Chains A and B, each alone.
Chain A
Amino acid sequence: MIFIFPGEVRLKNNRLLVLLVFVLLAVFCAAIFIGRYPKPYWMPLNLLLHESLAQKLVFSLRIPRLLMAMLLGMSLAACGQVLQMLFRNPIVEPGFLGVSQGAAFGASFAILFLGASLLHVEIFAALFALLGLALSFAIARLVKFGGWILRLVLSGIVVSAIMSSGLGILKYLADPLTQLQEITFWLLGGLWSATWTDVLFILPVVALCLTAVFLMRWRLNVLSLSDATAFSLGTAANRERVFLLVCAVIAVAAVTSVSGIVNWVGLIVPHVSRRIFGSNAQFSLPGAMLIGAIFSILCDVIARTLLAGEIPLGIITSFLGALIFIILMSRQNLKAASHD
């Protein structure tokens, strides 16, 4: 395939992708040794080899959590890239279009009213995530002023707010005493409760969806063109776009049902990836997934190691994400800019 007859650019991009894979592996391995035990930050290899508590910690807590962080980062980044290309809007991500919030709402709803069976939770998370996206899109079409970019962002903010409020109402109705504390978990995200069960349960769904998105990474380029052009090039544009969106959103819903709402990853990572690889999704999509995984692992390491208490993951990603966003914005026009 692409590796057999490389042109210069393709070769460079492929090499970069391979490099990113190695970086991800390195970060993953390093993160295994970082935590609060036995002292903050570094766990010596010796300890891991000989002490049973250390081994149990690493295998039962750290590794599933790292895997979860990886899946989270990949899904959010992939979904962000898909949304940005299909909506031709560089300022969207799952957290801005009501997808993450819908997933959190659906998951909470299922837990509160249907018992916490993992299957119900995932299904409802997916349903409401898709609903959130559909609503954002529909409302954007209704709004009468502003360019497309502005309309979509505005309606996304509206739908996200509605879903978040729904979440708040659910919590308040359920048990105003203790549940109100838990809302922080949903709104700001956190991986401290990730277990092997969670990972193994969402892994098939996420793997399936992300594989589908990955396989269509070149097609994504075509689908980002206008309707007429996509048609003339032989695609069933609307059907294929919906398929891509559904896959991307379901992956995000699955990870969000475990991790809560984590913002900004889906916005920043695709931009960074496009900086490196160009807009061609053939490379920038896998790039985004890898960079998303790396970024997510790094943020989670900070969240669980910096202080004795857990810092919600969303706070770290928002902080770092917003910082990087400002840097990107001030350097030059967003790469996905239209020109006058």
Chain B
Amino acid sequence: MKNRTLYVLSTLLILCALLMGACAPAAVEVAEVDQVDEPAAAAESEAAAAPASPPTEESSVVTILDSAGNLVELESLPQHVVVAGKATPFTLSTTYVFEEASDRIVALELRRGLLTAEFLTLIDPKYEQKIKLEMESSAEQIAPVEPDIVITKNYVVKSLKESLDPLGIPVVGLNMETPDVFYQDIEMLGQLFGAPERAQAVNAFLQEKVNVVKTAMQGLTEADKPSVLVIQYSQQDGEVAFKVPPASYIQTTMVIDGGGIPAWAEQADEEESNWIVVNFEQIAAWDPDVILVIDYNGNPQETAAMLKQNDLWKELKAVQADKVFGFGKDYQGWDLPDPRWILGYTWVATKLQPERMAGVDMTEMVKEFYRFMYRLSDEQIEASILPMVYAD
């Protein structure tokens, strides 16, 4: 009967539309920038990969091995470096830890809406001369700059390689998502810039700071550990959302190493790779001892203060004990895959176990960080960094 065919056809059409609708947001989420959404499995396999040392037979060949196992061999140190792909603010912050970056980076991608340009102007006197690429540049934009090598975020490496390999342009990736893999990334950059001593110094600096926290936490019992909630406050489109990070993100490590128990991580699905929206009821059900409020778009301290005033939030244990803190941030949040993670790592510990971390002064640490990592002078730090710091 004609109508039966019609209805079958219509059902199929509708199911297709439904599938398309269901797929579209997933596709959009894959296109997400910025927030680390690398699946946990990949991060684990990268953490397991051992860092390689350059072969010693041919000393004229430069070997660069990134944390995902991509091997690049060049005849000499790359002089024209391009930083592209997604999450460039983090890639850039990490790359600039090496002073050679200022000379050797010829082009970089900027993301709108972040303070990357301001920060780079501060730390790189040659910033203005560099070519600014469009967001999510393709091979067509990158190739004309004639790079010797392209640095990007690890999950973009595959797609960029596909288009740049035929042109003979090598690509390496920075992962940066856990401390262990961060050290590997620094080593890779050391190979790339021909500055292995600097790489070792940076890693030593980071590990020393990590040890400060770990030493302070020795002897800590479960009973001493407060339950902690890390929550991102986001207000877009007139719609307020509270989100918790997936268990695989660095915030979880920061809380655990900092002497706390992450209240949200038990229930979070291990496979989740995106921020999860929760409503206030769930926050009230967790009723953590300490709440750390991330606000990427505004001032976390003000946000935390606003929440403390809220009628509903006033009922929470953490608010009543005045343990709600805006998560530290300066040009960039301290909880992101960026060298600043060490600041976040330390800061979290000072909030969770203040007596044990009493010897640590965050302001001094910030100054030390910027002096060491980015070679800024004290005046520069006073003038440009400290005013940007929001950290309770």
Contact = CB atoms under 8 A, between A and B. Distances in A.
Interface of A: 35-40, 52-53, 56-57, 60-62, 91, 96, 107-108, 111-112, 116, 118, 121, 147, 149-150, 153-154, 157, 160, 164, 168, 175-188, 190, 192-193, 263, 304, 307-310, 315, 318, 322, 325-326, 329, 333-334, 337-338, 340
A147 B7 CA distance: 12
A40 B278 CA distance: 13
Nearest to A175: B113
A329 B7 contact: yes
Given A175-B113, A177-B113, A188-B25, A153 B239 contact: no
Given A160-B17, A182-B241, A325-B14, 13 more contacts: A37-B282, A56-B311, A57-B281, A150-B9, A164-B24, A168-B28, A177-B112, A183-B28, A187-B24, A188-B25, A308-B267, A310-B276, A334-B7
B342 to A, nearest CB: 23
B25 A35 contact: no
Contacts of B220: none
A149 B6 CA distance: 9
Given A61-B281, A340-B1, A176 B237 contact: no
Contacts of B238: 111, 116, 118, 121
11 contacts: A38-B285, A57-B284, A57-B312, A61-B279, A118-B238, A175-B113, A183-B25, A185-B237, A187-B25, A325-B14, A326-B11
A300 B264 CA distance: 22
Nearest to A89: B10
Interface of A: prevailing SS: helix
B317 to A, nearest CB: 10
A62 B279 CA distance: 10
A338 B236 contact: no
Nearest to A43: B281
Contacts of B42: none
Interface string B259-290: 00000100110000011111111101100000
Interface residues on B, range: 35 or more
Given A178-B296, A304-B279, A56 B312 contact: yes
Contacts of A40: 285
A318 B244 CA distance: 25
Interface string B19-43: 0011011001101111100000000
B17 A157 contact: yes
A340 B276 contact: no
A61 B280 contact: yes
A107 B34 CA distance: 26
**10 A-B pairs closest in CB distance:** A309-B276, A116-B238, A53-B315, A193-B239, A308-B267, A37-B281, A310-B277, A36-B281, A36-B282, A182-B236
Given A37-B281, A60-B312, A185-B239, A329 B11 contact: yes
Nearest to B316: A53
A108 B315 CA distance: 33
A147 to B, nearest CB: 7
B3 A310 contact: no
B297 interface: yes
Contact of A91 (B10, B112, B274, B285): B10
Interface string B311-322: 110011000000
Contact of B278 (A61, A160, A308, A325): A308
B3 A192 contact: no
Contacts of A325: 11, 14
A178 B34 contact: yes
Interface in B83-114: 111-114
Given A149-B10, A340-B2, A37 B135 contact: no
Contact of A186 (B2, B34, B237, B316): B237
A73 to B, nearest CB: 19
Nearest to B272: A309
Contact of B3 (A175, A179, A337): A337
A93 to B, nearest CB: 10
Nearest to B315: A53
B72 interface: no
B358 interface: no
A30 B238 CA distance: 30
B118 to A, nearest CB: 16
Given A181-B275, A333-B3, A318 B281 contact: no
A177 B34 contact: yes
B35 A56 contact: no
B71 interface: no
Nearest to A183: B28
B119 to A, nearest CB: 15
Contacts of B7: 329, 333-334
Nearest to A165: B24
Interface string B58-94: 0000000000000000000000000000000000000
A293 to B, nearest CB: 21
B2, B7, B316: residue with the most chain A Cβ atoms closer than 10 Å: B7
